[in-house]
Structures are given as C-alpha cells and as structure tokens.
Structure 1
C-alpha cells in the first residue's frame, strides 16, 4: 500500500474527472482541470481510460499520444510477462506471486479494469496468507471506487469479511471500516456510514482513499444527518480528534456548531458556503 498520507493517484484522477462534469465548477476552472487530467492520463499510460474520456467529450483525441501510450503498455507488459516466466522457471512461489502482483498493479495503474480484475484473481490463486489476500481485496475495492462500480464494491466488502473469519489483523479490519463507510455513504446509508467512520477516527490509516481532513469532513456530515442531539454532542461536537482538524476545513465548524446551537441563520449561511465548497472534496 502507499505510504502514510498518500492518496492513490487514480483516485485523485477520479475526483478531477468528477469535477470536470460537475455543474457547480466554473468553466475557467475546468480548463485547468482538463490539463491536469490529460497530464495524469499520459503519465500513467491510461490508454483505454483516455478513449473513454474522449468518448464522453471530457478530453479531445490526440492520436499520437494514444499510439505512444499503447506502445509503452505493450513494452511494459512484455517485461512483466518475462519476469513471470523467469520466476516460474527459476525462482520460488513467493517470487512468482510478486511477479503476478506487479502485473496486477500495472493494469490498475493504466486503468484497465477488466484485465486488472482478471490478473488480481490469478495473483490470488498464488496467495496463501490471509493478510495478502486482504490486500488484493483492497486493490479491488479501489478499482470499484474509481469506476463507481457498487456491485463490485459490495461483493468485495463481503469477501473481505469472509476472509476475516479465517483470521486477519486489526489494522486491516479497521481500514475495511473506512472502505465500507465510504460505500455506505455513496449508497445513502448515512447512519451506518457515520457509525463506521466514528469507529475509525482514532485508528484511521486509510490514506490511500483520501486525506484525514476529508475523512473528518465525511464523518461530520454523515453524523449530522443520522445522530440524535445527545450523540452528536458526545461523538462529534466535543470529540478531540474532530476538534483538532475541523478548523482546517472551510465552514465545517460553523456548519456543525450552528446546527447544534440552533443558530439557524448561521447554519443556512454555512450550508450555502459548504455546498459551494463541497466540490473540493471527493
């Protein structure tokens, strides 16, 4: 997994793609976003994803760029296949698994969903340890969120829970809560999302999904929707972990505290500002 504090590049890209199609984002901002998306697509040789964005009229077609990306992909796949063949012939089971995992991660990097899922299954067949199997599920979940494939996300969460019946460490279990919370929020199950997020405040390590500030933003919003007044006070308004971060997120403190204090004029003022600012958060 990525190091602490680092969001997965393809999830950053997914957010930028979302902003390009959002009506509240100004056209002048979209010009810059298009450049950023195009640069990220080129940097990761995301040929098939580039074609999708062109078909959606998000980006314009540059055939030379597409041809260059395809050539790089073919070259890299040949190297990865050679490494797999070498590992199978000359090395042990661990090296074979790592070679297959590298190919899986490459397909994820270039945004080829179907081939990534196929290769992850191959990698899983080479995997014995429960923790490593869980990591493969997390990669699958990230693919699901990138493509907003809720069926894939739901099945992967169920699979992860099943794996935990065989064992598994607390760190991965706690990370799964955040993934499931994001899924629940995306499918409008705000009460369960809030519960999972609140359970994860002191153990949050899921930086590959989003930064901690974004996590707190989601926690506060889902809690406001779903908690009663007493629980909101205990778990959110007075929570030390939230208090240390909430001031860094524009208008969120005013939004939360004005609602709790029944200052509805201030609440609706902050609500308007928060709505216009929400596009900045995935």
Structure 2
C-alpha cells in the first residue's frame, strides 16, 4: 500500500488529558493516520484536499495530527503540514513515547493573501477576480474533480502528479499579467455558446514573469502542469518575442452547476459571446458571486 488516510470528528467534550498544553473545548477533525509513500504522485496534497473538504463539511474549528518525528518520512510529512498552515502545538503522551502535535486553525474569513496555502481553502474576498479559458483537451487533465458528465472517469484512472496536486501551474501569454497572491480565478472550459462552461475556481499563489531560459521554465512547470517536458519546450519556443509566463495557483473547488457561455453572456459577465477572453480577463466581485450563487442552485 502506497497511501492511507484516516480522519474522524471529535466533539468539544473529547478527553485530551494526554495532550500538553491542554486543548480548549472545540469541535475538531483529527487526522488519525496519514501515510504516503514518496512516489512523486502528489498524493500528500490530494489527501490534504480530502481533509480540508471534510473539515468544511463537518464545520470544525481546528484540524490536528499527532506524529513521531524520528524517521525521514515523518519529517517530510511535518514539513508538508507546516507548508499548509499546521503549527506546532505541543506533545501527546503515548505508551511508545511523546508524539509531536500540529494544529491548523480552521476559521472562515481568515485568509492570508500573501500565503494562500497557510489558510487554504478559505478565499480572500478583498482581492481581484479573473476569468480565463482552458481548452477541453487540457481541462479535465488539470481538474479531474471538474469532469463533465459527458466524460468518462475511465479515461483518467492513470495516476499523474498534476491530477493529484492542489498546487498547480497555468501557462499563459496573456497581456493581462497583473495577478497577485490571493486573487481568484474562474476557469472556463471552452466549447461554444452552450458547450463552454465555467467549472473551477483557483487561488493565485504567485506569478513568474521573468523566466531566464527554457530549462528554468521546464523546471518550474514540471509535475504541476498537464504538459510533458518536450511540450513545455515547445511552448517556450513557440513565440520567442512573447515568452510564456507562469501562474502558480491552488485548486480551490469545482462548481456543482456549471454556467454556460450563453448564461455568462446573459448576465453580462462575458458581454459578447464572440469576444471570449484569450487570456486573463478581470471580472467584478459581483460577477464572481453571481456565478457562485448560480452554482449552488442545484
């Protein structure tokens, strides 16, 4: 077995006598087991997405995990947890010795725009909003959770790093490059007036524009984009007078109900169906909320 995850909800009256310093009374999600073999498939990030989705569903205030910090794989896991907002709290006494304990505060409205991973999955509402197209042949490869009903899950069973990763890469030559950490992106799967749909929301981590050479570009994109190394090289050299730039972003969520291009046009979000954005296009906060409210109406 290369990976295993076990989580459970604990209520405010849970007994934490073996934890030092003591926990305050809160509803929590405990990560009982988090085991991932280091295989390059980004399963650790996939597990974190499952954990955070369940924390939202169960309306907990904190997530915590206890772990020994002796072996190399345990140290790697601790570093991953810290990267995603878990902080050292103290220790838990067990028959095999003391485990270290890490806690992630899970409070809505506390998004950190400078470091979105720390407060993921919460959104920064005081930010800019964008819509950007993604072609069908790349869409579900990058966003398997946003698969359309017309697609088959059997076409996406192979384990690939960019599918499991929460932290992903979008490559662009857009004239609009003024994206900041914490900004929100609506990804639009192209396909015409009725076939084109907005499916996915991402949170900008960073934008890399000053890329010195091909090798650096490939290294920055590897395992987090849908492209092979050779395809990345083709992208880099396609237009030498307009080199691509990179948007590092976090996959946030998929819309339950997907608005079509026709609907986006009727609502004035994309005013002209013949003028779909070729790159990043700014939309208003109100537009973003309108899409979100439509998506919930299922």
TM-score with structure 2 setting the length: 0.27
Q: Normalized per residue, which structure has more strand?
A: 2
Q: Normalized per residue, which structure has more helix?
A: 1
